[in-house]
Amino acid sequence: MKVKISSPNLNSVVGGLRALVTGIPIAAKQSSKIVANKVLALSLDGVPCAPEDTGDLRSTGRVEATSEGYAVVYGNADVDYAGYVHDDLRPRKYKRPGSGPKFVETHILRMSEDAKPTIAAILESLANEILFTGRGGVKW
């Protein structure tokens, strides 16, 4: 005896799973951009912040896309000393109070604990959107 068991909703479920698999890399990249923008803001206004003598270095701070996600970047063709200033641990007096070395790295390390829940929340939101609102063809 041959029995065929199928679900009338199987195509919808598979469609939803495909949408989820497609959406995860996009959501992960978006969440890394959110975290990078927070780190940039902290590196400009938190302690330690990007040093300022002339303002040239601070004006080059930005978030750039990379193959892995996004990165906080300082410097350009005219301001090629960002790495040196970032890693210079010698005592210095800058015009801006709170300025100092490791003005990006410090904030990345501080945010590393917050980044995981932020990314997890974004991915959970994506899954809920696809699975419970029918975006992927699934309506539960």
The pTM of the full predicted model, rounded to 2 decimals, is: 0.71
94 CB contacts (<8 Å, ≥6 apart)?
Answer: 51, 52, 53, 100
What residue spans define the domains of the chain?
A: 10-133
Residue 48, pLDDT score = 94
User: Using one digit for the tens of pLDDT, what is the confidence trace for 8-17?
Assistant: 666 666 676 7
Q: 63-99: per-residue pLDDT in tens?
A: 999 988 899 999 999 999 999 999 999 988 888 999 9
- Which tens digits make up the pLDDT trace of 93-135? 888 999 999 999 999 998 887 767 777 787 788 777 776 665 5
Residue 49 has pLDDT above 50, yes or no: yes
